Structure 1
Amino acid sequence: MTVFDLTGRTALVTGAAQGLGEGMAHALAAAGATVVVADLQDELAAQVAESLGGAHSAVHLDVTDEPSWEAAAAAAVERTGRLDILVNNAGVEISSLIADVDPADIRTMLDVNVLGTALGIKHGLRTMRPGGAAGQGGSIINISSVAATIAFPGIPIYSATKSAVDRLTRVAAMEAGKLGYGVRVNCIYPGLVPTAMGTGLAVDMATLGLFESPDAAVGAVIEQTPLGRLGEVGDMADAVVFLASDAARFVTGTGLSVDGGMGM
């Protein structure tokens, strides 16, 4: 057994049917946690849970809907008797020049990225704190972005919402500590990863006329990254396991950059 061993703990990961969330679910399961795969895409979520094997399961979750959060948190506790780790990963990115931004797109990103994360923190704390349905403390990990730390063109609203995730993280960590909840709250800032979202972003940058081609957009990111490559799903997933584990037992209210140095 090591400080990274999560055996006996339950983790709920939002947006876990694909992309970074799916990778995080696999990494947490590999570390020993029982994972609840939470997503709007029920069929894909069930497939991910099945691929994990064992006692892992899927639950329907609309992160923008409070009753949906109540039901998902209750399901996790009902199935495993506890909830120790919550990863607020679900997010959406809609590219636009700020001069052309659509109010409907702004509302969508605010709803998913900010409201969804805030509700996740709320119900994570209420479930994990003393007197809660689980009541044994735990770790909440929010997924921000390197976009919260740099001025990258074409994603102004996404950047703003991910900056909000950082602030929510720090205030929640302060409150949880002051009130004796026994819950650590942290976030990570992923760099660009060539998932469907990351690849789509590169295409958008070329479409907006900011770069000559998607490859040029990717090249610009790599050029700005001291480690000289794009991120990988495993890079982000391992950071989540660290923050969920006892190796991070004295870490709260922090934002961990997992971006190869791009945002320094």
Structure 2
Amino acid sequence: MNIVVLVKQVPDSGADRNLRSDDNTVDRGSANNVINEMDEYAIEEALRIKEAHGGEVTVLTMGPEKAAESIRKALSMGPDKAVHVLDDALHGSCAVATSKVLAAALGQLGADLVLCGAESTDGRVQVMPHMLAERLGIAALTGARKLTVDGDNLTVERQTEEGYEVVAAATPAVVSVWDTINEPRYPSFKGIMAAKKKPVQTLSLAELGIGADEVGLAGATSTVLAHSRRPERSGGERFTDDGSGGTRLVEFLATEKFV
């Protein structure tokens, strides 16, 4: 089975994250960038499928030159090769343009199964699997907590707030996963060294047949107009209990419409 895993490099969610002042896009230059957490679960699931059914696992990334760091980290987990869509014109691309670029790359790779995280920690829009499936004309099985492969047939337990739904489709398909699906492996020293020699193909927009005016800030369908930091939390209001503490507490809760 030809499996492609979408991997995105994002600013570390545990560190300070900022938007650029000039164009309101994510400031990736000053951030500690890592593999999007959910994508690590997608990588692990792809490797388990390969181990059980054979085939090849390719990592696909769209991003700046710095994203090569995350590509090598992903390859150290066990995938066979990677494709990096790299073009200066991509800066500021919205989800719609991103899906167009990734779909073009996937069209060249001929994947039987496309795996990705259910969301990215920087965008959190959860629309990419659906957009890719629509552009490619294939099924989308999203929010998987369990994936079963039986030949060309896929069955997914789709995680919901109430429990899960069982959905099925034939390959080719796009499957997005949550962090409940598995436990990603740690790269071994052998895997880290092997990753340095694994092939990484670079694709430009021209090679994908996409014009520069169709992506980036110029081709974006949505734009961040302004941004500001969340205000610091205040210390709250403190009451000294003089015997009427219970009454004042109820009055406060009623004022704030908690009761």
TM-score exceeds 0.5:
no
- TM-score, normalising length from structure 1? 0.37
Bigger share in strand: 2
Q: Which has the higher contact order (CA 8 A, sep 6+)?
A: 2
Larger Rg: 2
